[in-house]
Amino acid sequence: MRVVFFGTPDIATSPLIEIAKHHEVVGVYCQPDRKTGRKGIITSPEVKVAAESLGLPVFQPEKIRNEEFLNELKALSADVAVVMAYGKIIPKEALAIPEYGFINIHASLLPRWRGAAPVQYALMHGDKKTGVTIMQMDEGIDTGDIISSAEISIASGDDAKSLFSAVSSLGAKLVIDTLRDIEEKSVSATPQNEESASYAGLISREMGLFSFFDTTGEILGKIRGLCIWPVAYFKREGTDVKVHKATVSDLSGKPGEILSVKPLVIGTKDGSLKILKIQQSGKRAMSGEEFSLGRRFKTGDFIDEIYESTNLKEEK
C-alpha cells in the first residue's frame, strides 16, 4: 500500500522503518527542526533523520490547518496515513483524504491514558501493564475506534527510557499486522469505553517536584516516569536536587531521615528509598553514596527544606 507517515520523536522511528520494509512510504511528516540545548543548536527530529536515511521525502510544515497542507496530502495519493507522536492535531478535513483514513499508534491500552504522555503517566501511577493501541482516528483526542492492541508488562526496573523503547518495538510489529488486515479488508473496529477513559496531559517541569513526605510509590513513580524530562527533584538548601535513579529499600524511619550513607537511603512517608544516581543543581550527577560522603551526612540527619508536593491525581 501507499502509506504517508506522521511522527516526530524517536518512539516513532521503529514503526516508520518497519513500514518502509513492507509498503511504499510516499511521504513522512514531522515537526520542523528546532533549537535545542543551551547553545540553541538547530536539531532535526529523529523521524526526519530516519526518513532521510531511507531516502524518503520529508515534509515539515509549521502549520497544517490550511489548504496548502490538504492539497499536498491529496497529491501524495496515499491509501492510508499512519500517525505516531506527530505532535500536531490532524484537521478534520484531512482525515478522509486517504482511502482508509488515518490510523494512530498510541502508546497505551486505550481508553486508559489518552493524550500526550501515556508512557510517563503509566509509570507515575504505578501501572503494572501497558501496551499499544491502534485506532481509527476521528476528531477527538485519542477517542477513535480501536482496531488492534497488544499488551506488555511493566517491570519494577522499567523507566520511561526502557518503556518508550518497548512500546516503539511493539508498535512497529502491531502496525504491520494491522496494515495487512486493512489491505485484506478484514479489519473490525470497536468503540472505546468512555467510562474507563483517563487522560495523560502534557508534562510540566513542576510535576517533577516531590517531597519525602510523599509515599515511596509516588516518589519512585516520578523518578521512573520523568527520567528523560524534567527529572524528579526535591529541594535542599534553596536548590533543586534531581534524583535520576532509585530503588525501594527495606529500611524504615521518618520522612527525609538519612537511614544509611553507604548506600544513601532516605526515609519516606511509608518506607524508604535507596538513592542510586543524584545531581544537585549546577553539579554533575553522581552516586548516592558519593553525594552523601561529599556532604558528610550521618545516619539520623535529615534532608532539609522538605516541601510536601501536590500528589498526582488520575484525571478522568
Averaged pLDDT of the chain: 94
Same fold, 2-200 and 205-294: no
Q: Would you call the peptide bond into 263 cis, given omega within 30 degrees of 0 as the criterion?
A: yes
What is the tens place of the pLDDT at every residue in 107-148? 999 999 999 999 999 999 999 999 999 999 999 999 999 999
pLDDT bin (cut points 50, 70, 90) of residue 248 is very high
Q: What would the mean pLDDT of 236-244 be, rounded to a whole number?
A: 94
Which H or E element spans position 92?
helix 92-95
The predicted model scores a pTM of: 0.93
pLDDT bin (cut points 50, 70, 90) of residue 95 is very high
CATH fold for domain 2-200: Rossmann fold (3.40.50)
Is the Cβ–Cβ distance between 50 and 205 less than 8 Å?
no
CATH fold for domain 205-294: Methionyl-tRNA Fmet Formyltransferase; Chain A, domain 2 (3.10.25)
Which residues are CB-neighbours of 167 under 8 A, at least 6 positions away?
11, 107, 119, 130, 131, 132, 152
Domain ranges of the chain: 2-200, 205-294
Q: How far is Cα 147 from Cα 187, in angstroms, rounded to an integer? A: 7
